[in-house]
Amino acid sequence: MTDDVRNVDEALSTISDPWQPHRLVSINDYDVKVVKLRGEFVWHTHPDTDELFMVMSGRLTIQLRDRDVVLNPHDVFVVPRGVEHCPKADGDVEAVLFEPQGTVNTGDAGGDRTSELREIG
């Protein structure tokens, strides 16, 4: 693999801990991140940006205050800016996120689940 080609499955295989996003690539002012998810995250919002989730494997529920959105492999969902949400993975989930550079994983909630963006290998 050349330096400018990235493989999502290979990148995900290097991640061991859940809820630790890793930058796969950047495009314009956006980061494409890979992440493993397990359990329930924290309720939070991203006041200034939408957030795109694309599930690669597993089943992810995006809890919203008025409904749950269930994502299966290869499903995509956009959480609109300012909408409070809480991702929940009953089993192991692998996902890709598209977010503006500098987006904090816990949004406005902060706390011990806040993770600095890591780089892939």
Residue whose pair of structure tokens reads 């995006």 in the numeric block: 62
Annotated domain spans of the chain: 8-103
Q: Which residues contact 17 (CB under 8 A, 6 or more apart)?
A: 36
Please say if the pLDDT value at position 2 is more than 80: no
SS3 for 101?
coil
| Superfamily of domain covering 8-103 | Jelly Rolls (2.60.120.10)
- Tens of pLDDT, residues 37-47: 999 999 999 99
Share of the chain above pLDDT 70, in %: 98
What is the pLDDT at residue 117?
87
